[in-house]
Chains A and B, each alone.
Chain A
Amino acid sequence: MTAMTRQLWAATRALLVLTVLLGVAYPLGMTALALAMPDRATGSLVMIDGRPAGSVLLGQATVEPQWFRARPSVSDYSGETSGGSNWGPSAAELSADLAARAADLRAVNPLAPAGPIPADALTTSASGLDPHISPAYAAWQAPRVAAARGMTVEQVQRLIDANMTSGELGFLGADRVNVTTLNAALATLGR
């Protein structure tokens, strides 16, 4: 056996041994441990009437006026894939997309305040599954949702506040509203 053959043989055995330890025992051990936290380990599902209606961590596609809209998504929240638009900052396509989304939002939100639309309402997220919007965008949509549901804007705003998370420690994250749990709260209102 030449030196190289001997090395390749040792490498093969080393890879197999380490695969058993790191590729089988470790992930399966962690999966067993995760059974202690079944809710988180399976995706923090939102249950309504005993059926999963989404994940707290994932945004959902909505078009009807009575639901809050999450951010624009490249995959339209299918969950089959994930990712962003990858348009560069000076791409003409990006400007066109932003303008089209602004026109669309203005059309379906006639009651919304004048002035600039919050940036997160116009831009696609990195994952295409972002469940969060800014408190400003939530408040901007509130008149539409209130009108569609026959509620007052104040009632809707109270639900927004209840589904708001402050940035962790004030600087680790951003203040944000979870659209999925907010819509779930709307869905189960009065029950």
Chain B
Amino acid sequence: MSPTLQAVLYVTTVALILALAHVPLGEWMYRIFTDERDWRMERLVYRLVGVDPRSEQRSSVYAVSVLAFGVVSVAFLWLLILVQGWLPWGMGRGQNWHTALNTAISFTTNTNWQSYAGEAGAGHTVQMVGLTVQNFVSAATGLAVAAALMRGIARQGADRLGNFWVDLTRACVRLLLPIAAIAAVLLLVGGVIQNLDAPQTITTLAGQQQAVQGGPVASQEAIKLVGTNGGGFFNANSAHPFENPNGWTNLLQIVLILLIPFALPWTYGRMVGDRRQGAVVTAVMAGLFAVSVTLTTWAERAAAVGVAGSLEGKEMRFGIVPSAIFGAATTSTSTGAVNSMHESYSPLGGGLLMVNMQLGEVSPGGVGTGLYGMLVMVIITVFIAGLMVGRTPELLGKAIGRREITYAALASVTMPALALLFTGASLLIPAARDALLNSGSHGLSEMLYAYTSAANNNGSAFAGLSADQPWLNLSLGFCMFVARFGIIAFTLALAGSLARQKRRPVTEGTMPTHTPLFATLLTGIVLVLAALTFFPALALGPLAEALS
């Protein structure tokens, strides 16, 4: 089978599954975030937490709840990792204080950058009670913020955006937990391990010793992907045969990664009462993603001419095409799981994976984060288009004024500012430069990839970087925290500002936001913003390497 046909069949299969799933799933999420009734289990949670599920929050209070939950999560996880030696299933594994802090921030912010290797840094208690939990709740937090922004656009003359504790709980109980449980069973059937054993040492056929790892992997693997988290149970992540044993599980993983991000635009269309608005967002996300998959697959195939055949850092059960598609999926959503080593990709292939993140994780982006990131882009597009044609910038009857565009601009500038400033600073710091494995333009790519990944809460890496040292752990942790909660704060402020407005009547002067023309403009704005900010850095890294 020719690689081109293989890629076409693969992408078509994924697209068909997503097309079938996105309506019922989008509809289900719409109900989750609009339902007036609570499930019995949820009422129990609210009683234990001490919140009234019917009381809604202003945008500032909502933001404080998100931040408080984040801060408490970081503190709890940091502590848990530091004391794991005294807990059951510690198995002698541990991390020093700055690695543990990096890990705590990383999993709380849905980044799942890993400065530690799972086999050495996290026992089963930390994996379950710490990391699995953050895989759920960080994804649920993203969904909650997306729900708040959708309500802000949908409501008028309102000062409330919903209740964070309700959105968080419902996202976990009604959405993530059921999907994760089903996915975990499918992964188990596919051969992913699930036990509580310590590694057992066996004598191999040739008489050598080998450690066979144990652990509750399937349960964590499922939410790692559904929640677009991406933190591997093992160091090799989804390349490890115990996490991703064959072609079927690999397809399942790609589908799980893309499932919720591609269903959320439907939810958006329903929330604002105009499905065409959601369709535009889906079309732009799918268009960008299709181009990325095509180019990445092409780049990896084109590089397969040398003695290495584009197989360095790839697994034989997948081969080139399924590896490249996984790579595009994991970087286009803020997942960061890897089934092949991105650092060993061809210069253009690896560069494209970086570009996927630099678009701001909107194609389709992470769970919740992708939608709110794209809606910020919608607002910027409305504003710029309005200026170009001299019409009042409006989104669904809400004026995009000084306040709104300020919040949107701050939300969109946070990521590139962090990524570029810290890449530049780290290249000047000898201790950080010494952490690079590769040299020359690829070394620059290695550093740029790290901070791009952290500032986008992606978590994948050009993993040659020896990131387990104080400067990199702390600065990457800073980027992850500020990018995550900074953008959330700006997004919620934007939501609050939109919610307060009355909807203006549609006139001839209103620019429609549901047309192919608007989709084209939106795509252009996403691409131009990324190109303007990142082209110089990309020219020195992957482009220079590709041309040399």
A residues engaging B (CB < 8 A)?
Answer: 3-4, 7-15, 17-19, 21-24, 26-31, 33-34, 37, 40-45, 48, 51-55, 57-58, 60-64, 67, 71, 77-91, 94, 98, 102, 116-120, 122-134, 165, 167-174, 176, 180, 183-184, 187
Instruction: List the A residue with the shortest CB-CB distance to B438.
Output: A88
Nearest CB of B to A140, in Å: 14
Q: Is the CB of A41 within 8 A of B247?
A: no
Q: Is the CB of A27 within 8 A of B219?
A: yes
What is the bound-complex CA distance between A41 and B195, given in angstroms? 6
Q: Is the CB of A42 within 8 A of B197?
A: yes
The residues of A that contact B247 with a CB separation of less than 8 Å are 167-169, 172-174
The residues of A that contact B129 with a CB separation of less than 8 Å are 19, 23-24
Q: Is the CB of B133 within 8 A of A60?
A: no
What is the bound-complex CA distance between A62 and B69, given in angstroms? 50
Q: Is the CB of A170 within 8 A of B219?
A: no
The residues of B that contact A24 with a CB separation of less than 8 Å are 128-129
Q: Is the CB of A83 within 8 A of B236?
A: yes
Pick 10 A–B contacts, CB within 8 A, sort by A: A8-B72, A10-B50, A10-B165, A30-B188, A54-B204, A58-B210, A80-B120, A88-B462, A124-B313, A125-B239
In the complex, given contacts A41-B193, A77-B208, A126-B340, what are 10 additional A-B residue pairs having Cβ atoms less than 8 angstroms apart?
Answer: A3-B61, A10-B65, A21-B172, A21-B173, A30-B216, A82-B234, A85-B312, A94-B308, A122-B308, A127-B241
Q: Is the CB of B248 within 8 A of A127?
A: no
What is the bound-complex CA distance between A184 and B72, given in angstroms? 51
B309 at the interface (CB under 8 A from A): yes
Q: Is the CB of A123 within 8 A of B347?
A: no
Q: Is the CB of B50 within 8 A of A84?
A: no
Given contacts A81-B120, A88-B442, A125-B316, contact A171 B9 (CB under 8 A): yes
What is the bound-complex CA distance between A63 and B137, given in angstroms? 47
B241 touches which of A4, A8, A129 (Cβ 8 Å): A129
B359 at the interface (CB under 8 A from A): no
Q: Is the CB of B219 within 8 A of A126?
A: no
Q: Is the CB of B308 within 8 A of A123?
A: yes
What is the bound-complex CA distance between A51 and B317, given in angstroms? 27
A170 touches which of B1, B132, B234 (Cβ 8 Å): B1
Q: Is the CB of B246 within 8 A of A168?
A: yes
Q: Is the CB of B341 within 8 A of A174?
A: no
The residues of A that contact B173 with a CB separation of less than 8 Å are 21
Contacting A at CB under 8 A, from B290-334, are: 303-304, 307-319, 321-322
Instruction: List the B residue with the shortest CB-CB distance to A36.
Output: B188
The residues of A that contact B206 with a CB separation of less than 8 Å are 60-64, 67, 183
What is the bound-complex CA distance between A62 and B206, given in angstroms? 6
Instruction: List the B residue with the shortest CB-CB distance to A174.
Output: B319
Nearest CB of A to B329, in Å: 14
B344 touches which of A11, A80, A85 (Cβ 8 Å): A85
B49 at the interface (CB under 8 A from A): yes
What is the bound-complex CA distance between A173 and B48, given in angstroms? 47
Nearest CB of B to A46, in Å: 8
Q: Is the CB of B10 within 8 A of A171?
A: yes
Q: Is the CB of B241 within 8 A of A80?
A: no
The residues of A that contact B304 with a CB separation of less than 8 Å are 119
Contacting A at CB under 8 A, from B14-67, are: 45, 48-51, 61, 64-65
Nearest CB of A to B74, in Å: 11
B218 at the interface (CB under 8 A from A): yes
The residues of B that contact A54 with a CB separation of less than 8 Å are 202, 204-205, 210, 212
B528 at the interface (CB under 8 A from A): no
Q: Is the CB of A52 within 8 A of B64?
A: no
Q: Is the CB of A7 within 8 A of B68?
A: yes
Most chain B CB neighbours (cut-off 10 Å) among A54, A64, A77, A165: A54
The residues of A that contact B180 with a CB separation of less than 8 Å are 26
The residues of A that contact B13 with a CB separation of less than 8 Å are 171-172
Instruction: List the B residue with the shortest CB-CB distance to A19.
Output: B133
The residues of A that contact B185 with a CB separation of less than 8 Å are 30, 33
B316 touches which of A8, A60, A171, A174 (Cβ 8 Å): A174
Given contacts A15-B73, A86-B313, contact A57 B308 (CB under 8 A): no
Contacting A at CB under 8 A, from B202-233, are: 202-206, 208-214, 216, 218-220
What is the bound-complex CA distance between A15 and B73, given in angstroms? 7
The residues of A that contact B120 with a CB separation of less than 8 Å are 80-81
Q: Is the CB of B442 within 8 A of A90?
A: yes
The residues of B that contact A169 with a CB separation of less than 8 Å are 247
Q: Is the CB of A173 within 8 A of B246?
A: yes
Q: Is the CB of B117 within 8 A of A83?
A: yes
What is the bound-complex CA distance between A63 and B208, given in angstroms? 10
What is the bound-complex CA distance between A109 and B10, given in angstroms? 37
The residues of A that contact B48 with a CB separation of less than 8 Å are 13, 17
B184 at the interface (CB under 8 A from A): yes
B200 at the interface (CB under 8 A from A): yes
Given contacts A18-B137, A123-B312, A126-B314, contact A62 B235 (CB under 8 A): no
The residues of B that contact A58 with a CB separation of less than 8 Å are 210, 212, 241-242
Most chain B CB neighbours (cut-off 10 Å) among A11, A29, A55, A132: A11
Instruction: List the B residue with the shortest CB-CB distance to A117.
Output: B307
B437 at the interface (CB under 8 A from A): yes
The residues of A that contact B195 with a CB separation of less than 8 Å are 31, 34, 41-42
The residues of B that contact A62 with a CB separation of less than 8 Å are 204-206
B68 touches which of A8, A40, A131, A167 (Cβ 8 Å): A8
What is the bound-complex CA distance between A71 and B241, given in angstroms? 14
The residues of A that contact B246 with a CB separation of less than 8 Å are 168, 173
Given contacts A83-B235, A84-B236, A88-B445, contact A172 B313 (CB under 8 A): no
